[in-house]
Structure 1
């Protein structure tokens, strides 16, 4: 049970035990929705980076760019703003996110 709780907190068993004994707070956990949002933002950011590289290469070669550089910059800034706002949100795992069901336990095994 301790190993499971330590893993869920993203800590080693020793660090989890140390914090528990000393009554130090555990790190805040992000909800599954927030984690999924971060992952999707990373994917979108990677696509924008690839499109930006292709656009810059086309411009250097004197070819028509596949995207408007100004719009790419706006997209990049928007993604950064969303990322900053998400990082400011402190969410804890709710009871629904805890490992309670048999299905969730199978994932842990």
Structure 2
């Protein structure tokens, strides 16, 4: 009697998963080194395209999914993002202070205060958009 093709395929898949020698979530304690030519090293670097080399090699060797490339944010953008966050924090503190003053009655909610709060909200949104655009850089190739 011939085994069912589905059962056969299911058994092959189970065998493949059982025989996988390294699980992706195991603790990695062993360092492996090997020699390569300059051409091989260049080819490996090209294929990694933003992925850590050990992750790339591990994925190819053990049939893990390839990791996502890391984003490379230029130093100038990192500094700008840091400054934008500081400005944004200051705007949020001002907004909270005004809202609290209005809530406890020490500051009337006049049209001028409403306009100022709206301006603060617009500035905060603009800062967030700018920060987002600075973090959307191309992947290192």
TM-score w.r.t. the length of structure 2 is 0.45
Displacement after TM superposition at 1:83 (Å) = 1.7
Q: C-alpha distance in 1, partners of 2:70/2:138?
A: 10
Q: Mark the structure with the bigger radius of gyration.
A: 2
Alignment partner of 1:19 is 2:62: no
Q: Report the number of matched residues.
A: 78
- Asked whether 1:32 is paired with 2:75, we answer yes
Gaps of 5+ in 2: 1-50, 61-65
| 2-structure distance, mates of 1:61, 1:34 | 40
Q: Are the counterparts in 2 of residues 45 and 76 from structure 1 also a CA contact under 8 Å?
A: yes
Q: TM-score, normalised by structure 1?
A: 0.57
Aligned to 2:86: 43
Deviation of 1:58 after TM superposition, in Å, equals 0.9
Query: How far off is 1:84 after superposition?
Result: 2.2
